[in-house]
A and B are shown apart, each in its own frame.
Chain A
Amino acid sequence: MALDVAWAVRWVRLTAGLVTEHRAYLTELDRQIGDNDHGENLYRGYTAVVARLDALEGPPAQVGDVLKLVATTLMSTVGGAAGPLYGTAYLRAAKVTGLDELDAGAVVAMLEAGLEGIVARGKAVPGEKTMVDAWSPAVAAAQAACVEGVDPVVVLEAAATAAEEGAVATDPMVATKGRASYLGERSAGHRDPGAASSALLVRAAHTAAVDGA
Chain B
Amino acid sequence: MTALVLVSHSRAAAEGTAEIARQMAPDVVLLPAGGIDGGVGTSFELVLAAVEEATAGGSGAVVLTDLGSAVLTTESVLEMLDEAVAARVRVPDAPFVEGAVAAAVEAQSGADVEAVARAAVRAGGSFAGSAGAHATPPAPGEEVASAGAGDVGPALRERVVLGNRLGLHARPAALLARTVADRDARVTVNGVDAASVLELMGLGAVGGSELELVVTGRDAQDTLTTVRAMIQDGFGET
Report the bound CA distance from A121 to B80 in whole Å.
13
- Residues of B near A39 (CB, < 8 A) are none
- Judge whether B41 and A84 touch: CB under 8 Å: no
Q: In whole Å, how far is A175's beta carbon from the nearest beta carbon of chain B?
A: 14
Report the bound CA distance from A110 to B139 in whole Å.
65
Known contacts A80-B69, A81-B69; is-contact A75 B41 (Cβ 8 Å) = no
- Residues of B near A80 (CB, < 8 A) are 41, 69
Residue of A nearest to B74 (CB): A84
Q: In whole Å, how far is B178's beta carbon from the nearest beta carbon of chain A?
A: 36
Q: Which of A76, A121, A122 touches B44 (beta carbons < 8 Å)?
A: A76
- Residues of A near B75 (CB, < 8 A) are 84, 88, 120-121
Which B52-76 residues have C-beta < 8 A from chain A? 68-69, 72-73, 75-76
Where chain B touches its partner, the secondary structure class is helix
- Judge whether B80 and A75 touch: CB under 8 Å: yes
Which A177-196 residues have C-beta < 8 A from chain B? none
- Judge whether B36 and A79 touch: CB under 8 Å: yes
Q: Which of A81, A83, A91, A120 touches B80 (beta carbons < 8 Å)?
A: A91
Report the bound CA distance from A79 to B76 in whole Å.
13
Is B43 among interface residues, defined by CB-CB distance under 8 A?
yes
Which A61-82 residues have C-beta < 8 A from chain B? 71-72, 75-76, 79-81
Report the bound CA distance from A75 to B68 in whole Å.
15
Is A87 among interface residues, defined by CB-CB distance under 8 A?
yes
Report the bound CA distance from A109 to B77 in whole Å.
23
Binding site for A on B (CB under 8 A): 36, 41, 43-45, 48, 68-69, 72-73, 75-77, 79-80
Known contacts A75-B44, A79-B36; is-contact A84 B80 (Cβ 8 Å) = no
- Judge whether A84 and B76 touch: CB under 8 Å: yes
Known contacts A75-B76, A81-B68, A121-B72; is-contact A87 B44 (Cβ 8 Å) = yes
Is A145 among interface residues, defined by CB-CB distance under 8 A?
no
- Judge whether B76 and A87 touch: CB under 8 Å: yes
Known contacts A79-B36, A83-B44; is-contact A91 B68 (Cβ 8 Å) = no
Report the bound CA distance from A211 to B43 in whole Å.
36
Is A93 among interface residues, defined by CB-CB distance under 8 A?
no
Is A85 among interface residues, defined by CB-CB distance under 8 A?
yes
- Judge whether B72 and A72 touch: CB under 8 Å: no
- Residues of B near A81 (CB, < 8 A) are 68-69, 72
- Judge whether A72 and B73 touch: CB under 8 Å: no
Report the bound CA distance from A91 to B77 in whole Å.
11
Q: In whole Å, how far is A64's beta carbon from the nearest beta carbon of chain B?
A: 14
Report the bound CA distance from A85 to B68 in whole Å.
12
- Judge whether B79 and A91 touch: CB under 8 Å: yes
- Residues of B near A72 (CB, < 8 A) are 80
Output the residue of A84, A88, A121 with the most chain B CB within 10 A: A84
Output the residue of A71, A79, A121 with the most chain B CB within 10 A: A79
Report the bound CA distance from A87 to B76 in whole Å.
8
Report the bound CA distance from A83 to B80 in whole Å.
13
Report the bound CA distance from A83 to B47 in whole Å.
14
Q: In whole Å, how far is B201's beta carbon from the nearest beta carbon of chain A?
A: 33
Report the bound CA distance from A80 to B41 in whole Å.
7
Residue of A nearest to B37 (CB): A79
Which A92-124 residues have C-beta < 8 A from chain B? 120-122
